[in-house]
Structure 1
Amino acid sequence: MTGLSLGILFKITQKKVTRAYSLVDSSQVSTFLISILLIVYGSFRSLNMDCENQEKDKDGNPIATGSFNNGNTNNSIQTIDSTQALFLPIGASVSLLVMFFFFDSVQVVFTICTAVLATIAFAFLLLPMCQYLTRPCSPQNKISFGCCGRFTLAELLSFSLSVMLVLIWVLTGHWLLMDALAMGLCVAMIAFVRLPSLKVSCLLLSGLLIYDVFWVFFSAYIFNSNVMVKVATQPAENPIDVLSRKLHLGPGMGRDVPRLSLPGKLVFPSSTGSHFSMLGIGDIVMPGLLLCFVLRYDNYKKQASGEVPGPGNMSGRMQRVSYFHCTLIGYFVGLLTATVASRIHRAAQPALLYLVPFTLLPLLTMAYLKGDLRRMWSEPFHAKASTSRFLEERKEGALTMRPCCHHFMLSTDL
């Protein structure tokens, strides 16, 4: 009887361990680590670009008016305003419907455009490594290519490696190469796109949350298919195969190349190879833009005022906790919650449904407690605001913070 009981207990324990392992297997761990590393790396690349532009402004072209840490000397940096934040989910919905209804007609063009963007983005990802490799053997002089522009040896090396990687991906369609290109896209988007304020951040992420929830949960009731999942998982025809058929190169030319799964997502196989864990790059980039914003704000606050005691009886320990670390922990918890929900329900989950609340709510709470909410809500990096005004706003008491919170609620309702 004892042996039978031990056997039953062992089987129950084994089932529980197997279930726990299935919730967090190697593919899920890879997704967690890579997504967090991409956000951290992209945010610091963005901050480094701002610091370099700031140094250039001090050395050569000082700007009397403008924005702090907005990188205005770099024309490739794009700042999202309130109107763009409101209409971006609508534009994304239109693009999703076009891909859903007309995928066969636009798949080749979309694949080529994606490959070009991925080439440039991955070259940007490789650039620091190439600069490190070429620094000992050559000066950082730029080589002229006529109307194409002037490039350093590191830029040429990174672009060549990126082109080579894209060509191998087109020929093989391997998931690991697709992941590498998707990583480059994530880092480039986080580094070159700016959220100017917490207000724009809330508008953008709230709109994308509604977009994600609708197209994952409710699109099947209207279109008889999960639009988001179908577009994300549908492979595209290989351009080499299409070209060989158009040019009538024969049945053997280009017909053995695989269909391509486009780098709009990260996929990682499980340890058993039975399934893949998938995370869209939008679930990395959009929270990543928020983390990039708070990292820039942490840097701005450090440069403007250093360590200043907060209002009321806030402790020094709370003041030392950075917004970046708080929001990054929230992103991790949100991603973990989304993973558990997808395993429990055995269906695709809108990751932003979990990521947006777990990143925005802790950030808003900490900003309110520290007395920075009013400053972060509207144009926190504007150069016209003096450091003394910044210090005065942070030293205001709880009475000042109540109208600030009221303004926040009205803006959110609108």
Structure 2
Amino acid sequence: MFIYDIVMVFGTKLITSNGCSVMIQVVTGVDCNQKPIGNGYYPVAPLEQKREEIMPLLFYVPLVSDVMQECYDIDVESEYRHIMLGLGDVIVPGYLIVYCFIVDKLKPTKVPYGVIVTIGYALGLITTFLALRFMQLAQPALIYLVPFTIIPVVVAAWMRGHLSMLWYGKFSSNI
């Protein structure tokens, strides 16, 4: 899923005729247009309020740092300022988070794996939002979320001698 997310966001822009990411087209359900931003161009999915969402594949996260956010009128503004977070960016790391909480029930530790992975996920989301804000370009969230969740859990399990237990799922009392 990590590699798939990167290829579908960055790689498909090179092979599509309009230079748009297939991932953006799929989750928004519309073709992307080229809109000038600064010195260059990048694909921006237009907002269509009258079109009902067929399947909830996307979360719209408002830009917290945008002081003019309350002044936007969706019916008038041509571009509503928000960050799109795909459903897969919640579900895929969610599997690891749930697994870590199950491990905590079966093999309690001083600092639970569930807490470690949840903090990693929060830091990964913050990094994702910062990358989106500063680069002004669609980013695959899993490129940040996967390392921020897996690396701390693997390091903690290795330091505790639980890496084999976590990898194979063998939760015997003598491990």
- Paired-residue identity, %: 35
* Partner deviation per Cα, 1:210-236 (whole Å, 9 max, x = no partner): 00000101101112321001111125x
**Quick check: 1:291–1:324 contact (8 Å CA) kept in 2?**
yes
Match of 2:50 in 1: 258
- Is the aligned partner of 1:279 residue 2:85? yes
- Out of 24, 29, 35, the residue aligned to residue 229 of structure 1 is 24
Letter of the 1:219 counterpart: T
**Quick check: 1:298–1:322 contact (8 Å CA) kept in 2?**
yes
Match of 1:378 in 2: 168
- Is the aligned partner of 1:328 residue 2:118? yes
Aligned pairs for 1:334-373 (under 5 A) are 334-373=124-163
Using a 3 Å threshold, how does the CA distance of structure 1 residues 346 and 374 change in structure 2: closer, same or farther?
same
Q: Secondary structure at the match of 1:283?
A: helix
Return 5+ residue gaps in structure 1 as ranges: 1-207, 236-256, 303-318, 382-386, 394-414
**Quick check: 1:267–1:278 contact (8 Å CA) kept in 2?**
yes
* RMSD between aligned residues: 1.8
Give distance in 1, aligned partners of 2:61 and 2:5: 22
Match of 1:290 in 2: 96
Give distance in 1, aligned partners of 2:83 and 2:144: 17
**Quick check: 1:216–1:229 contact (8 Å CA) kept in 2?**
yes
Give distance in 1, aligned partners of 2:61 and 2:134: 19
Return 5+ residue gaps in structure 2 as ranges: 31-48, 64-68, 73-79
Normalising by structure 2, what TM-score?
0.74
Using a 3 Å threshold, how does the CA distance of structure 1 residues 349 and 374 change in structure 2: closer, same or farther?
same
Q: Secondary structure at the match of 2:139?
A: coil
Alpha-carbon offset, residue 380 of structure 1: 2.6
Normalising by structure 1, what TM-score?
0.33
The structure with more radius of gyration: 1
Give distance in 2, aligned partners of 1:364 and 1:284: 20
Give distance in 2, aligned partners of 1:218 and 1:328: 29
Q: Which has the higher contact order (CA 8 A, sep 6+)?
A: 1
Aligned pairs for 1:184-263 (under 5 A) are 208-224=1-17, 225-234=20-29, 258-261=50-53, 262-263=55-56
Alpha-carbon offset, residue 258 of structure 1: 3.1
Alpha-carbon offset, residue 268 of structure 1: 3.6
Alpha-carbon offset, residue 379 of structure 1: 2.7
Give distance in 2, aligned partners of 1:269 and 1:373: 38
Give distance in 2, aligned partners of 1:326 and 1:209: 20
**Quick check: 1:297–1:380 contact (8 Å CA) kept in 2?**
no
Letter of the 1:275 counterpart: R
Alpha-carbon offset, residue 378 of structure 1: 0.7
Q: Secondary structure at the match of 2:10?
A: helix
Equivalenced residue count is 141
Match of 2:75 in 1: none
